[in-house]
Amino acid sequence: MGHMHIVPKRRNTQPKPTVTRLRAIVSGSIGNLVEWYDWYAYSAFSIYFAPIFFPESNATAQLLNTAGIFAVGFLMRPIGGWIFGSLADKAGRKFSMTLSVLLMSFGSLLIALTPSYQSIGLFAPILLLVARLLQGLSVGGEYGTSATYLSEMATADKRGFYSSFQYVTLIGGQLIALGIQLIMQKLLLSEEQMSDWGWRLPFIIGAALSLVALYLRSHMAETDAFQSTAEIADKKVKRRSGSVAELLKHPKALIIVFGLTLGGTVAFYTYSTYMQKYLINSVGFSKVQSTVITFSSLLLFALLQPLFGSLSDKIGRKPLLIAFGILGTLFTVPMLTRLGQLDSATDSWIAFFILMLALIIVSGYTSINAVVKAELFPTNIRALGVGLPYSLTVAIFGGTCEYVALWFKHIDQEELFFYYVTGCIFVSLLVYLFMRDTRKASSFH
């Protein structure tokens, strides 16, 4: 019996066949795509469902509206990073990823089926708040675990390439939400139908897609790195796996994750989510023009990620991060200033090219940030080490990026926001300059 038990274990220590790897990458990535689609669908369609859940006449409901939409999602992400990162390090990457996509599915279904304020009163916004709590937990847990899974599934020489698919699917989720909204607005439904019941459809689609992702994830392979650690670990080591106490034994890696993420997350949110509003409010483009410009540039941005990831496998991670740091520090102010001077009637192509240039620079961070973080931590603490400090930094700086920008605009000092973004990227540049190249000094064995 004992011998029969050992044989499959031995086989697992051999490199996984390419087909198994590709299936694992697809399963991990599709789950990621669905999670981010669900997350962004909330932002995209909130303009339609806000009045249904938050009638203006009720002050309590208005407060819940503010808390629910602006704070809760991002506040829950570090908690999700902690819970699911811990689970992934203790019980396995596959278990944690399957659970997170199930939670997202439940959150989407809850939004799709919650009756209006008119029907059930205060319970309507409370249920919406609960759904957003679940989504925030889920997406907070998704990043660290899927970054760990994708990097552990890859061979050493293709780790940057495989891991880059995390941002392909993250941006892809945003594009699908935006695409579905455009199709519904332009081709399928009137404004009245969208506000009445149409906004529920994307959440039903999201819940259905989550079930597909759940099926794929429940059939995917566990990583060799986790399996080999689980086999040799004694009880004391297992207890410590995925614990905050164990994580705090790696203070240098934690500081690097904070510093690494700071400039990258601010730049990413500036050019991916705030840009649509900036093009409308500050430059004067119409909503349709702005959507087309941001959609096209984000599509190309997604396609760039594997190219940059592959490049990092050849020349190292550090040159790409330093290139992002230097170019971001030098060109953020000129690019955003030039965008603000454009004529919305004639300059939509110029806006697209400036935004594309900005996203090419940001790709030096987005394409490889997941693998760099995964390479900083040992297997027994990797998912928590990647997920928790990242989601904290994103909650503090990425999540507030739009509000900082709008606040500067409100006090008529919009250009100060450009310097704020530059300052954040410069802080990250200092980290990039002094850290080791994780491709050469990886914690993967």
Please determine, for residue 179, whether its predicted confidence score (pLDDT) is greater than 50.
Answer: yes
Cβ burial 96-120 (10 Å sphere, 16+ → b, else e): bbbbbbbbbbbbbbbbbebeebeee
Apex CA 157: angle with CA 152 and CA 160, to 5°? Answer: 65
**Would you say 368 and 316 are in contact if contact means Cβ atoms under 8 Å apart?**
no
Residues 6+ apart with CB under 8 A from 259: 427, 428, 430, 431
Grade residue 309 by pLDDT with cuts at 50, 70 and 90. very high
Q: What is the sign of the dihedral through the CA atoms of 328, 329, 332 and 338?
A: negative
In a domain, 439, yes or no: no
The reply to whether 319 falls in a domain is: yes
Is the residue at 268 inside a domain?
A: yes
Largest CA distance in the chain: 76
The Cα 86–Cα 131 span in angstroms is 22
Closest CA relative to residue 69, chosen from 16, 136, 7, 10: 136
Average model confidence (pLDDT) for the chain?
Answer: 85
Tokens for 360, please give them. 């090419």
Residue 4 lies in a domain: no
Q: Which whole-number Å values give the CA distances from 35 to 97, 130, 255, in the listed order? A: 11, 17, 27
Bigger pLDDT: 25 vs 310: 310
* Residue 226 counted as domain residue: yes
Query: Which of these, 305, 270, 290, lies nearest to 178 by C-alpha position?
Result: 290
Task: Please say if the pLDDT value at position 231 is more than 70.
Answer: no
What is the reported pLDDT for 10?
40
Number of domains in the chain: 1
- Residue 251, SS3? helix
Which range has the top average pLDDT, 107-111, 275-279, 343-347, 379-383?
107-111
Q: Could you list the residue range(s) of the whole structural domain that residue 429 is in?
A: 19-434
- CATH number of the domain that residue 273 is part of: 1.20.1250.20
Closest by alpha carbon to 77, among 396, 395, 414?
Answer: 395
What is the DSSP secondary structure assignment for residue 367, as one 8-state letter?
T
The answer to whether residue 13 is domain-embedded is no
Distance CA 67, CA 125 (A): 11
pTM of the model: 0.83
**Bigger pLDDT: 50 vs 336:** 336
pLDDT given for residue 27 in this prediction? 81
The rounded Cα 222 to chain-centroid distance in angstroms is 22
DSSP 178-241: HHHHHHIIIII--HHHHHHTGGGHHHHHHHHHHHHHHHHHHTSPPPHHHHHHHHH--HHHHHHT
The reply to whether 204 falls in a domain is yes
DSSP one-letter string for 376-437: TS-GGGHHHHHHHHHHHHIIIIITTHHHHHHHHHHTT-HHHHHHHHHHHHHHHHHHHHHSPP
pLDDT at position 278 is 86
Q: How far is CA 99 from CA 31, 88, 444, in A?
A: 11, 10, 25
Tens of pLDDT along 237-293? 555 666 788 888 888 999 999 999 999 999 999 998 888 888 888 888 887 788 889
Tell me the pLDDT band of 233, cut-offs 50, 70 and 90.
low
Instruction: Report pLDDT digits (tens) over 108-158.
Output: 999 999 998 889 988 988 898 899 889 889 988 888 888 888 888 888 888
CB 144 within 8 A of CB 384: yes
Examine residue 441 and state whether it is found in any structural domain, yes or no: no
- Under 8 Å between Cβ of 320 and 308: yes
Tokens representing 433 are 């300059």
Q: What is the pLDDT of residue 214?
A: 87
pLDDT at 68: 60
